[in-house]
Structure 1
Amino acid sequence: MSAPASAEPTPADRRRWARYLVEERAEGSVYQKLAARRTGEERDILLSLADAERRHEQHWLDLLGGEPKRLPQAGIRSRLLGWMAGRFGSIFVLALAQSAEARSPYDTEQYATPAMRADEKIHYEVVRGLAARGRRRLSGSFRAAVFGANDGLVSNLALVLGIGATGVSASFVLFSGIAGLLAGALSMGAGEFVSVRSQRELLASTEANDDAHDSAADLDIDENELALVYRARGMDEAEALNRARRIVTAAQAGVRATSTGPIRTAGDDHEIVGSDWTAAISSFLLFASGAIVPVLPWIFGMQGTAAVVVALVLVGIALLSTGAMVGILSGGPPLRRALRQLAIGFGAAAITYVLGLVFGVGAL
């Protein structure tokens, strides 16, 4: 509920209004910069959001009685978003903006209007919708990137720690780490090649062809028979019958029915599979980029406990980073996702390290 018109604002109120003012300007600037990097409907939506932020900005200007002589700086998050929006315009910016919109202070602000509170809730849903579009476009490649790099990090960390715990020499640990990197990366690449090639072949075998169209002029039976073809491909009975009638009529008239559009099955919305070689090379490089990290201390001549500690620190930073990125993209808390990733990775490494201690060289 808004404050009574007669309420005398305190200096604390005015400071708070000034802070709201700079935050609204910063958010509007983020949407403006994002809109400049997009076209079509997404651009129009972002520009509308920027206009709404300007309305909110004007509300605080009116309460302040005009532009203050001194204004506070926008928060670090808002400044970071503005910097990223001007340079990247990526899904990460939208995901961060979604998180920012979810924490509107206006629910408890007596000087904010009900319309402003409603706007903030709507903005959150709008930004979430835009972010969802980006997540759908990114989900396949991002999943593969996180999976490949994370698999390389965890598996090779577990390998070098497990081997190192047996008491073998540093050169043997290094050799094992490089062998694990190559074996894992080649396995990932080969697996992706076979997977994508098989999927492409499977989809190719299910694609509809034009045999039914080409035979339509020679049909000496009712068009209901042709309608069965379309019903088998997922159309409902009325639509299938209507399409079959148009095709038969056009074919008997000696023309091709080109206005019917492509025939698709109910489950034909397959994701774009992509190139098998591209998938294989990408998987190889992603796994290798993760698997090289735990081996770095031994590559640079370290050994013993020092090498183990440095490997854990490097892998820990990488796991926290990938976990935080997953959190940002999913709209969840980045810290929780980062700690979960770290716990899983270090948990797997700890198991192999303990096994290495149990079955150490001295026991062999």
Structure 2
Amino acid sequence: MAGRFGSIFVLALAQSAEARSPYDAEKFATPAMRADEKVHHEVVRGLAARGRRRLSGSFRAAVFGANDGLVSNLALVLGIGATGVSSGLVLFSGIAGLLAGALSMGAGEFVSVRSQRELLASTEESGDADATAGDLDIDANELALVYRARGMSQDESLLRAQRVVRAARAGIRSGATGPIGVRTDHDIVGSDWTAAISSFLLFASGAIVPVLPWIFGLSGITAIALALILVGVALLCTGAMVGILSGGPPLKRALRQLAIGFSAAAITYGLGLLFGVGVV
């Protein structure tokens, strides 16, 4: 499973297994046994943390795109189908909703993630101050302000500034450069192109599901019932996947996704019945 889907899936499953400790409800289990299980759970959670952070950007866009495609297009075709229009018009509306939604999702994700990455890039530390420390015509106090602005304490920043200035004036420029710590903000945000492409594809793959009955020539109540079944299964799967990767109960997440999706579909279907028309 790790070789095919990545280690994060295996670690997430292991974390869920460790969370279901059999010793919590076992009256003969000692406190040391319970504590040992808690440590196991925390170790696995820590191992999965880095993978989750790197996955979070594109995974958020993918889950949002798939769920949005399923729910929005199901609501669209059910709402239009409930008005009594022809099956051809329902099919056309579903395909138009798929294309419009997928393009909108892809463009929106690209712009939002690119904007976030540019905003984070403007906050990253620069090595310019350290690199020019040897040319300072004053003492290290001014350079210490740079480190204070980065979050270091007053004493620590002054000591580092004095060390950097001494090294720079001695001609050791390489020892005077380099940021403090390692930034992982971009790993958390993810790639703009990855987010856009995954949103487009996942929205389209989700949005096509409610339209399948009409694509294969079904109509009326039969098409609506089959669309509900297909979307229900897809919502349960995406919800369970979110539960597995987040270390939570998959069934609870799956039922939550199903309830949210069907609630939106029920509202639009009711509106379609309320404003029903007879179009041939």
Is the shorter-chain TM-score for this pair beyond 0.5, marking a shared fold?
yes
Residue number in structure 2 paired with 1:189: 106
Question: Between the two proteins, what is the percent identity of the paired residues?
Answer: 81
Deviations 1:156-177 (A, max 9, x none): 0001111111111111111100
Structure 1 residues 248 and 128: CA distance shift in structure 2, 3 A: closer
Letter in 2 for 1:246: R
Within 1, Cα distance between the matches of 2:178 and 2:142? 20
Deviations 1:95-125 (A, max 9, x none): 3333333444456386x78865654444334
Within 1, Cα distance between the matches of 2:131 and 2:192? 33
Q: Given the two structures, how large is their TM-score scaled by the length of structure 2?
A: 0.87
Residue number in structure 1 paired with 2:259: 343
Q: CA deviation at 1:342?
A: 0.5
Q: 1:144 aligns with which of 44, 47, 61?
A: 61
Q: CA deviation at 1:242?
A: 1.6
Q: For this pair of structures, how many residues does the alignment match? A: 277
Residue number in structure 1 paired with 2:142: 225
Q: Name the stretch that deviates more: 161-170 or 195-204.
A: 195-204
SS in 2 for 1:361: coil
Deviations 1:110-155 (A, max 9, x none): 6x78865654444334334334444334333322221110010000
Structure 1 residues 244 and 125: CA distance shift in structure 2, 3 A: closer
RCO comparison, higher one (Cα < 8 Å, 6+): 2
Residue number in structure 1 paired with 2:26: 108
Letter in 2 for 1:276: D
Residue 164 of structure 1 pairs with residue 81 of structure 2: yes
Within 1, Cα distance between the matches of 2:236 and 2:54? 24
Q: 1:248 aligns with which of 155, 158, 165?
A: 165
Gaps of 5+ in 1: 1-83
SS in 1 for 2:85: coil
Within 2, Cα distance between the matches of 1:302 and 1:341? 26
Residue number in structure 2 paired with 1:318: 234
Q: 1:332 aligns with which of 235, 248, 260?
A: 248
CA RMSD of aligned residues (A): 2.7
Within 1, Cα distance between the matches of 2:230 and 2:63? 17
SS in 1 for 2:175: coil
Residue 91 of structure 1 pairs with residue 8 of structure 2: yes
Deviations 1:170-229 (A, max 9, x none): 111111001100111000111111112222322333333333234322222121011112
Structure 1 residues 249 and 127: CA distance shift in structure 2, 3 A: closer
Q: Given the two structures, how large is their TM-score scaled by the length of structure 1?
A: 0.68
Q: 1:283 aligns with which of 196, 199, 205?
A: 199
Within 2, Cα distance between the matches of 1:246 and 1:359? 76
SS in 2 for 1:206: coil
Residue number in structure 2 paired with 1:270: 185
Structure 1 residues 160 and 87: CA distance shift in structure 2, 3 A: closer
